[in-house]
Amino acid sequence: MALDAQVSFVEYGESEYVIAKGSGVAGKQLIDTGDCRTTRPSGTPHRFTGHRELCIFCEAGHRSPGLPSTASHAVLISAPLQIKMGFIVKVGIIGAGMVGSAAAYAIALMGHASSIVLVDLNQALANAQAEDISHAVPFASATRVSAGSYDDLKGARIIILAAGASQKPGETRLQLLSRNASIIGGIVSEIQRVAPDAILIAAANPVDIVTQIVTRVSGLPSTRVIGSGTILDTARFRTLLGRYLGVSPFSVHAYVLGEHGDSEVLAWSSARAGALTIDKVAAQVNVPLNDEVRARIDDGVRNAAYTIINGKGATYFGIGAGLARLVEAIGRNQHAVFSVSMVTENVEGVRDVALSIPRALGSDGVVTDLVPELAPEEHEALRKSAEILKAQVDTLEL
C-alpha cells in the first residue's frame, strides 16, 4: 500500500510510531508505551508488535489484518519506505564533553533525530548539556534531548562514541592507546547489551585506532563501525580551496584520505570544483595554483586543529556538524559520500587497517567504497599512511 503522506515521528517507551497527514491520511494517534490505541467504541487498546512498525489512521478505510471492523480507520504498515519518510532515529552519544555535546546540539537543531540520549560518567555534566540543548530545540526542531544511563540507549539506531581517557603527564601515546582500548571495550560491551543493532560512530581520537579497536572488540561487521575519520579535514580542504578559488565549498569536491593526523593525504589530483579540475578552475578565474599556494593550503588543512586549540583550547563545532551530517545520511539512507574511517581489507597492499577513503553511507552503515583516481605520489603517501596506522594497531594488546 503506497500512501502520499508527510509524516512526523514520536517515540514512547521502547517503540517508535508515526503520525501521518496527507493524501488519504488524517487523524490522531494515541500511544501508550508500545500500545497503538485505536478509537474502538470500547476504548480498549489494540497492541501492535514488531520492530519499527508504523501505525497510522487512514481516511480511506484500510485496516490492519485482524483489526475488528468496529475499530476506526487504522492501518499498520510494516515497511517504512511505503510512505515518505521522516526521522524515526534515536541517537545515543557516549561522552558529554565538547565533541559529544556539539554533536548533540547540531543533530538536535538540524532535526536529524527523533531523540538524543547523552551518557557520561559525569551525570551532572550530561544532565546540564541535555537541559541546555533542550532549551535551543524549540527554535529549530522537535528533537527530544535527555541524559541517561546505558539502559536508556535501548532502541538507539545510531550511537556516537565521543568518550575516552585523556593523556596523563609522562604517559606515552601508545600507553594512552592501550588504556583507552580497555575503556572502549567496556563501553562497547554495555552498548551491545542494550542496543546490539546500532550503527557505531567513533569520534574519539586517535579516531582511526579507536575505530579499529571498536571493530575488533565488538565483533561487528566493519561496515557498521564507522570512524569520523577525515570528514573534518576534508571540510577544511574544501573550505580553503573554495575560499581561494572564489567558489562555495558546497561546490568543491575534494577529499583527504588516510589517517586523521600527520600522515593524511590531500588528494589534489582528483579535486574538482563543479565539473572542472581545480587547475582549470584556477585558470578560468585567473588565480595561480602553484606549489607555493598548494603548500599553504596543505598547511592550513593539516595544522588547523593546532591553530584552533592554541586559540580556544579545543575543536568541536566542525566535528559536531560533521557527525550530525553522518547521522542524517544513515538515518535517511542517503548513500551520500564521506571520507570516513573503517577497517579496510586492503589499502595499497596494507591489510586490515582502519583509515579514511570516500565511502557511501546508508541505513546499514557503509554501502561501498569509492576510491578516487590518484597520482603516483598520492598512492605512495596513502600506502605510508596505512603502514603507520597498521604499526600502531599492531602494538596494542586487544
Per residue in 59-69, is it b (16+ CB within 10 Å) or e — as a string? Answer: eeebbbeebee
- Answer whether the bond into residue 206 is a cis peptide, omega within 30°: yes
Closest CA to 142 of 33, 9, 25: 9
Q: CA 382, CA 35: separation in Å to the nearest integer?
A: 53
- Considering the candidates 62, 73, 253, 260, report the single residue annotated as catalytic: 260
DSSP category for residue 224: G
Interacting residues of 305 by C-beta distance below 8 A, sequence separation 6+: 315
Q: Do the beta carbons of residue 336 and residue 360 sit within 8 Å?
A: yes
Phi and psi (nearest 5°) for 158?
-135, 135
DSSP calls for 114-161: SEEEEE-SSHHHHHHHHHHHHHHGGGT---EEEE--GGGGTT-SEEEE
Q: CA 362, CA 125: separation in Å to the nearest integer?
A: 32
Residue 39 burial (10 A CB sphere; 0-12, 13-18, 19+): middle
Q: CA 347, CA 123: separation in Å to the nearest integer?
A: 41
Maximum C-alpha span of the chain: 79
Cell of 324: 550530525
Known catalytic residue: 253? no
Q: CA 191, CA 324: separation in Å to the nearest integer?
A: 20
Interacting residues of 318 by C-beta distance below 8 A, sequence separation 6+: 232, 235, 236
Element (H, E) at 302: helix 291-302
Catalytic residue numbers? 260
